[in-house]
Amino acid sequence: MTHDKKEKPHVPDRMQRDENAALHQQHRARMWQRYLRKGIDAFSEVEQLEMLLFGIIPRKNTNEIAHRLLKTFGDLHHICAADTKALTQIEGVGERVALYLKFMYDIHCVLERQSIHASVPPSETDAETALISLLVQRFYGLNREQLLVVFLEGNGKYQGEQMFGVGIGNALEVSFQAINREVVLRGCHHVVIAHNHPNGRLYPSEEDLLFTQTLSRELKHIGAELVAHYLISGRDYLKIDIHLRTFSGSLAPYVCGEMQQDRKPIEQTDKMGQTDKREKES
């Protein structure tokens, strides 16, 4: 009686492995040389991702992994912004690679925030631009809806800020008592609030408007004033229900956030530049 021996899988010998590694290194060196000569725009998106993966995958063919990632997530932004668990479902992407991609995305957001902050002139006449730049900086890269409260002293000087809760437009759960308590503890007189719309729809929902009305009333009960409510999406912003108001401090002029009962005028400023006025019926 004879027993068939199981055929062992072919394993490249050390020489073959060394040869493959050398080919990978030569390919990567050519890619970097090409980048130095021609810049990032000379590469397709799959090549850009392939090169990004060089830093975390030293020996494998990252081109194949890049193709699989793009096929699943669509583009570089959605790949790096994806949940790490979703990334690890892709063949060739382990926890280290997923964490690396997430870190790359977060670093990008930090650079964007610093760029936005650095572009603001430190002038009192540009105080609202500085405020909006601060808000854009805080929300950039966030993929969940959140509320930021900025606390101001009596003369309008910046005192501090705090994030409260997650989500205004989609059933925002923020405690008015928590905000009021923080206002009292800080002894501030004026409040600016802002929240983001990660989906890019820069228009207030009914929940946004109701929240603004309610918070304005709540703050009045404790001797404070809601002076502005901004919506932020990327680098764009919109001011909810505003009329011009000036403070003497470093954060002036501001826009009052009290709501009008009959109509809701909305002033939208695109890219911190041109202004477009619209009206939304109650």
Q: Yes or no: say if 167 and 153 are a contact pair by the CB < 8 Å rule.
A: no
Q: Taking Cα atoms as reference points, which of 73, 30, 33 lies closest to residue 49?
A: 73
Q: Is 274 exposed, middle or buried (0-12, 13-18, 19+ CB in 10 A)?
A: exposed
Average pLDDT, whole number, for the chain? 75
Q: Which residues, at least 6 apart from 250, have a Cβ–Cβ distance to it below 8 Å? A: 124, 127, 156, 157, 158
Interatomic CA distance for residues 92 and 71, integer angstroms: 14
Interatomic CA distance for residues 246 and 254, integer angstroms: 6
Place 183 in a pLDDT band, splitting at 50, 70 and 90.
very high
Q: Which DSSP string do the residues of 97-114 spell out, in sequence order?
A: HHHHHHHHHHHHHHHHHH
Q: Yes or no: say if 32 and 24 are a contact pair by the CB < 8 Å rule.
A: no
Place 56 in a pLDDT band, splitting at 50, 70 and 90.
very high
pTM of the model: 0.53
Q: What percent of the chain has pLDDT over 70?
A: 68
Interatomic CA distance for residues 240 and 27, integer angstroms: 54
Give the distance, in angstroms, between the CA of residue 18 and the centroid of all CA atoms in the same chain.
43
> Which of the residue ranges 33-47, 56-70, 134-148, 267-281 would you say has the lowest mean pLDDT?
267-281
The letter for the amino acid at 265 is P
Tell me how far apart the terminal alpha carbons of the chain are, to the nearest angstrom.
Answer: 91
Mean pLDDT throughout 19-44? 87
Residue 80 confidence (pLDDT) above 80 = yes
Q: Which two tokens stand for residue 14?
A: 């050390």
Q: Yes or no: say if 257 and 190 are a contact pair by the CB < 8 Å rule.
A: no
Q: Which two tokens stand for residue 77?
A: 């932004």
Q: Which two tokens stand for residue 61?
A: 């063919």
Residue-wise pLDDT for 141-181, tens only, equals 787 888 999 998 877 778 888 988 665 544 455 678 889 99
Interatomic CA distance for residues 225 and 227, integer angstroms: 6
Helix runs in the chain, H state only: 14-38, 45-54, 62-73, 76-80, 84-87, 95-118, 127-139, 176-186, 206-221
pLDDT number for residue 166:
61
Q: Which residues, at least 6 apart from 21, have a Cβ–Cβ distance to it below 8 Å? A: 59
> Which of the residue ranges 2-6, 153-157, 180-184, 268-272 would you say has the lowest mean pLDDT?
268-272
Residue 281 confidence (pLDDT) above 60 = no
pLDDT number for residue 67:
97
Mean pLDDT throughout 186-205? 85
Interatomic CA distance for residues 230 and 205, integer angstroms: 13
Beta bridge partners of 190: 152, 225
Structural domains in the chain? 15-112 (1.10.150.20), 125-281 (3.40.140.10)
Q: Which two tokens stand for residue 101?
A: 């991609």
Residue-wise pLDDT for 39-52, tens only, equals 999 999 999 999 99
